[in-house]
């Protein structure tokens, strides 16, 4: 009986670890997997909850003395419960009529000068990023950011 119980427990642990990447995307399973991976020395993928990023400040302005270039600045914070990977930033530019004239998704290695794969933002950590983009059309008057 003890052998059967031990084998069942071992099978449950093995299944948990084999499915850890998928289960780690669920908040209910994450704490258990954190403990299991500490004990069994495995790694979990970074938490991914784009809606937990909060934009603190942002601006898109023409670069002085460089026509056709825009300077993008964004400050945001990770309000998730766990560290999470740097987000992909989706920048949308619009004209005076509200028409979208440009949109692009920027990966972390595109908007950060020194980005190491696997790097995360801790819960509550804020950051500021700045980069330049080519103005897709004249008279850009509105912009929006989204996290992916």
Cα distances from 90 to residues 7, 94, 110, in angstroms, run 48, 13, 12
pTM: 0.81
Q: In this predicted structure, what is the pLDDT of residue 8? A: 81
Q: What percent of the chain has pLDDT over 70?
A: 100
CATH topology of domain 50-147: Coagulation Factor XIII; Chain A, domain 1 (2.70.50)
Mean pLDDT of the chain: 92
Give how far the C-alpha of residue 83 lies from the chain's centroid of Cα atoms, to the nearest Å.
10
Residues 6+ away with beta carbon under 8 Å from 105: 88, 89, 90, 91, 148
Name the nearest CA neighbour of 47 among 21, 82, 86. 82
pLDDT in tens, 71-129: 999 999 999 999 999 999 999 999 999 999 999 999 999 999 888 888 999 999 999 99
**Using CA atoms, how far apart are residues 45 and 67, in angstroms rounded to an integer?**
42
**Using CA atoms, how far apart are residues 43 and 55, in angstroms rounded to an integer?**
29
133 or 10, higher pLDDT: 133
Q: What is the mean predicted confidence (pLDDT) over 26-36?
A: 89
Q: In this predicted structure, what is the pLDDT of residue 26? A: 86
Q: In this predicted structure, what is the pLDDT of residue 69? A: 95
Q: In this predicted structure, what is the pLDDT of residue 2? A: 83
Q: How confident is the model at residue 60 (pLDDT cuts 50, 70, 90)?
A: very high
**Using CA atoms, how far apart are residues 139 and 148, in angstroms rounded to an integer?**
27
3-state DSSP assignment of residue 147:
strand
Helix (H) or strand (E) holding 134: strand 126-134
């Amino acid at each position: 009986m003890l052998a059967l119980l031990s084998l069942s427990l071992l099978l449950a642990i093995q299944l948990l670890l084999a499915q850890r990447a998928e289960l780690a995307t669920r908040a209910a399973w994450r704490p258990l997997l954190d403990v299991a991976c500490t004990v069994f020395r495995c790694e979990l993928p970074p938490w991914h909850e784009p809606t937990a990023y909060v934009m603190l400040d942002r601006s898109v302005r023409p670069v002085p003395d460089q026509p056709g270039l825009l300077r993008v600045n964004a400050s945001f914070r990770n309000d998730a419960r766990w560290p999470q990977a740097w987000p992909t930033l989706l920048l949308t530019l619009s004209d005076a009529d509200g028409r979208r004239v440009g949109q692009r998704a920027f990966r972390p290695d595109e908007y950060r000068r020194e980005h190491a794969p696997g790097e995360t933002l801790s819960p509550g950590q804020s950051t500021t990023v700045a980069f330049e983009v080519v103005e897709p059309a004249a008279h850009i008057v509105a912009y929006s950011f989204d996290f992916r």
